[in-house]
Structure 1
Amino acid sequence: MPRITDTVTTADGSCTVSLHTPDGKGPWPGVVMYPDAGGARPTFDEMAGRLASYGYAVLVPDVYYREGEWQPFSMATVFSDDTERKRLFGMMSKVTPEIMASDAVTFFDYLAARPEVSGESFGTTGYCMGGRTSLVVAGRVPQRVAAAMSFHGGGLASDDPGSPHLLADRIEAAVYVGAARNDKSFTAENGETLDKALTAAGVEHAIEWYPVEHGFAVPDNAPYDEAAATRHWDAMESFFGAHLR
């Protein structure tokens, strides 16, 4: 799949992005793919290329661009290495809901200006931290998001005042959540809370539970599960096909 690297100017600096498109002329519906806590890296280039092959222009942002030239994480060891774990969580903590929304407007404006991209509203999808970002953006920039997906996303219905379930009455997008079992960051109780909030707000949505562990969809995560990842690709193809076409 064709791929370009570019920079977009945000309120806080220059954010590196990659844009992945199908072969051919287009234009195609746009999707922002938010990486997990490990940030943008080759695994997400591969994943964005696969989603692009379904007929989408897929943007992957460096959500940690405010850190400057940050050292990539090894996803195989980051959670067992105390120093690296602290660095990871320190970087994550700086990506607040306000920052997520502000950056998203810039990403959407960039997509809307690209000749490869059609329309003014877009899809969002994400993993882990990116899964939360996807739903936060759907609630905080509702007029620009037509379909929002989250895979093993954490903090989707928490006590935090920035929890995306509190934005349910603002969401205009259809929502899909692919949740993992035994996930302390999104429990069955959290799923019930999110479902009730989305239902009360009249949001079209689905919450599906995958019988695998957190991290199941991202190939360089230790809990990656090929069968569950295939199911998640099928879900994206179907969901975005229904709501972005």
Structure 2
Amino acid sequence: MTAVQGTAVDIPTADGTADAYLAHPDDGAAHPAVLVFMDAFGLRPQLRSMADRLAAEGYTVLVPNLFHRHGRAPLFDLPEYIDPGARPEMFERIVPVMQTLTPDLAMRDADAYLNWLDGHPAVADGPVALTGYCMGARLSLLTAGTYPERVAAAAGFHGGRLATDTPDSPHLVADKVTAELYFGHADQDPSLPEEQIRRLEEALTSAGVRHRCEVYKGAPHGFTQADTASYHREGDERHWSALLDLLKRTFRPQSTPLDGKLTAYRR
């Protein structure tokens, strides 16, 4: 197992300083960068652990506090094991904070995160990869479409509201995406109904985006987060396999790539 160095870092943005977690192999070398967009529960030990696991695979990983305008993480008083069913009142604090992070603000921040990675000695030259969870899946897609020349691959897991009928829906950037995309949807996720899954697939296919969208049967919204009641071990293991395969294809040309504009929509 590769030794990993993890540190807290501060990133200057147009709207103040964003605190973040940076993890990379402890070997003094530069590695491909992965920008991780958090879920609504925020930057916490679970996401740091996920960053460490990615770093151990040979990547430099940045997990910013997307809610930095409201303060440094942790913003919310969360238990070690998060069960929203037992504490529904926690969303009374979280949802209003989520709603303040508009697509425009999020993409302004993404520019700052990408700039910061570009100048860090632990980051190899070239475009980065993205992955996002829950609300972070939306930002992964938006960033891939907003900064196509800077993003080589992007993934999203148990994302919600990916293809709505609003004018700022993430799927509307599909025609600007040049990266390879992967989405692992939660089965019967109320935040991503079948209609939106089809709309996303149609938009990516029509735009000629290399992509794969899969629905994980039996996996609830939030299935990758081991510190929550939504955790689904089988879905999480499948997520790691899909994400690491995407990164290997992206950063290791000798690996077998997808053929042309191949798409595969699977249940």
TM-score in terms of structure 1 length? 0.96
Aligned to 1:199, what secondary structure does the other structure show?
Answer: helix
The alpha carbon displacement at 1:120 in A equals 3.4
- The separation in 2 between residues aligned to 1:12 and 1:72, in whole angstroms, is 24
Residue pairs, 1:1-245, within 5 angstroms: 1-69=4-72, 70-74=75-79, 76-78=82-84, 81-211=87-217, 212-245=219-252
Deviations 1:41-81 (A, max 9, x none): 00000000001111110000011110024334346244654
Alignment check: 8 A CA contact 1:216 1:223 kept: yes
Aligned to 2:124, what secondary structure does the other structure show?
Answer: strand
Q: Is the deviation greater in 154-163 or in 198-207?
A: 154-163
Alignment check: 8 A CA contact 1:28 1:118 kept: yes
The alpha carbon displacement at 1:119 in A equals 1.9
Q: Please, what is the CA RMSD of the aligned residues?
A: 1.4
Aligned to 1:190, what secondary structure does the other structure show?
Answer: helix
The alpha carbon displacement at 1:140 in A equals 1.5
- The separation in 1 between residues aligned to 2:77 and 2:34, in whole angstroms, is 24
Q: Is the deviation greater in 223-232 or in 11-20?
A: 223-232
Deviations 1:77-117 (A, max 9, x none): 44654542121110100111111111111111111111110
Unaligned runs of 5+ in 2: 253-267
- The separation in 2 between residues aligned to 1:167 and 1:79, in whole angstroms, is 34
TM-score in terms of structure 2 length? 0.88
Alignment check: 8 A CA contact 2:76 2:94 kept: no
The alpha carbon displacement at 1:186 in A equals 1.1
- The separation in 1 between residues aligned to 2:111 and 2:191, in whole angstroms, is 27
Deviations 1:153-185 (A, max 9, x none): 111111122111111001111110000111011
Code of the residue aligned with 2:27 in structure 1: it is: G
Distance 1:14 1:106, change over 3 A: same
Code of the residue aligned with 1:152 in structure 2: it is: H
Alignment check: 8 A CA contact 1:135 1:148 kept: yes
Alignment check: 8 A CA contact 1:147 1:244 kept: no
Alignment check: 8 A CA contact 1:38 1:72 kept: no
The alpha carbon displacement at 1:142 in A equals 1.6
Aligned to 2:127, what secondary structure does the other structure show?
Answer: strand
- The separation in 1 between residues aligned to 2:169 and 2:85, in whole angstroms, is 24
The alpha carbon displacement at 1:23 in A equals 2.9
The alpha carbon displacement at 1:125 in A equals 0.3
